[in-house]
Structure 1
């Protein structure tokens, strides 16, 4: 009996140890190493569980303001300090049973099955205000956010909620991030483009790792990032008469909508642009791309600009 009892205890301990190790592995796989928050995989897993349980959920997309500029001017150690400070403040303003995630780079998300849109937005606004005040860095620390809600039991899809939150975050950034005090931030490469730091204000609204572009709407000339040259097979980083050139790259079925959208940016009837269409890549095939951009009006002394990103 003692032998059987010892064997059973040993077996039970082995099973417990294996389960604990499995839980540790899962926890590590779903954790962002810098902040200790959940990572992109953890976010996807949590979202899947919420939809399986058909729980109403409110989510927020959060995007750090001017992180790329911070890295460029003050170095990546200061950039990591910026990320950690934002993650700490987000934790302080979250409630029990809410989860925060760092999706990568400057992007965060919050999932809550207990908060309304207004409640979560109010807390994030207060969090942002306090973050701006309690900062000893040489540049402002802040973030932009967008909040959305969905009910899986009503047949609503998670991608609709995430897109809504992303669009609202981008709108918030356009309204607020451009007005941050940048007096202590050194200008970088502004003269290379013969433009003011308005362009860097616009670039700070965008995520890293995308195909960036800047267009002088008065001269109909566009400047593309090096990644676009490589992956889209563009003939040069500078392209004149962009509207006409793009007709050769967009799928014929998407061309009319694309040109109509570009025309609205050109004539100033549309300032914010978000759309999808198929674009021919360097290999000659078509890939579905998403374009986000913003028109910055000029005057007699400076040109009107269109600044944005294209995401494959």
Structure 2
């Protein structure tokens, strides 16, 4: 059975329109991708509204690359390919990628984002799980010595050992011992990737990801006292300063997903800037336990740590009501509560709830 796909573009015009802005003309010169003398990629537009720049990365170019390997997007791998070069440029700009930077890209697909990173003068380590897509990117950049493609599952690879040789031998940007992450992630691995990357502030300075819009809003700016406030929010703010950058309508992808996407930047903290806790394992174990059971008061959800009366007393010591619930506490509140109730490092870290 042939795997050749329908060659009709997903949109009725040659432009990639956004869902919220119906554009009828190309962007002005001021909205284009430019380079300074130090090759810093600069974009001044706040939304992605541009015509694709590279025919190699538009719908037909993407289709051609896939058909060259007899492939089609795999739903099981969450494969949705970016058709708008301007959005790739915005991803790169959000990470402030400069000439000589070392950049990790997870899931390069056909190499459209890789191409923008190369244009900025970055050294790119691309990790691709799909062996066919890895081969496409290898062939595309075979003559570029600043691109290396690894065919591995990122969630299982030892990224630190792969990156350290690049950081130690970075001759163009010797002052920087940190890499950056810029990636159009498959939505189905975004939480796992965030959990793996954010504690690695010793080797990464910036993590810029294209995430599902709803997840981006929930992860970056959750409201206290809502069901959207979860342990992962405590984790993110412990290890980074997150910022929502840009809405990316679903019409910019092939195949088109059911939801919009968004660019999110995480500026990673150094260990000296982490909130002070006696043990991160016991701290996050306490946070996870606190959120077990929706709408439970902390004196109930933390009973396995100490008695309800002791929890109430600890809350009073940090000027919180004895009836407090986890969704009412900021990260600072959790840090203070942990300091009061943890007498020794006896908790077992069992991961984070999504």
TM-score under structure 2 length normalisation: 0.28
Higher helix share: 1
Q: Which has the higher strand share?
A: 1
* TM-score when normalising by structure 1: 0.31
Structure of larger gyration radius = 1
